[in-house]
Amino acid sequence: MRIGVITESGSYDWPHLEGAAERTVVTDHGAVSVTEGRLGDAEVVQLSRHGAGHHRLSNQVDHKANLAALLACKTEALVSFSVCGSLDPDLRPGSLVVFATLAGHALPSPDAVNGPGFVYRFDT
């Protein structure tokens, strides 16, 4: 299986990604840097939504370009990781939190990922 992985800040270099090779994928929405390699039996296409070194602010992330790049790389599944803080004292640093609802703050901006084949709201 070929899995697309979108990561956050600080996850630019995966030490266990075998045969890691970086390349630029040019899409109709812009160029995206991806790293392709293997984790166990899975082929992985990883991209950092903010770019290496976190050079893009959240409102500068081109979600359409990122998703188009993963589609161009023929990914069959997508996993996205997010890093955030919490005001809940019971959640210690490093805790795993699975969101019940995740909705993009950018909707209904012109950069929102809407349309055929795209969903930008997830309910678990």
C-alpha to C-alpha distance for 5 and 11, rounded to whole angstroms:
11
C-alpha to C-alpha distance for 17 and 109, rounded to whole angstroms:
35
Q: Among 111, 20, 41, 31, which Cα is nearest to 72's?
A: 31
Query: Is the Cβ–Cβ distance between 82 and 49 less than 8 Å?
Result: no
**Reported pTM:** 0.68
Residue 106: band (very low, low, confident or very high) from pLDDT cuts 50, 70, 90: very low
Non-local (6+) Cβ contacts of 64 within 8 A are 27, 29, 111, 113
pLDDT at residue 123 above 50?
Answer: no
Query: Which stretch of 24-28, 43-47, 100-104 has the lowest confidence by average pLDDT?
Result: 100-104
Residue 74: band (very low, low, confident or very high) from pLDDT cuts 50, 70, 90: very high
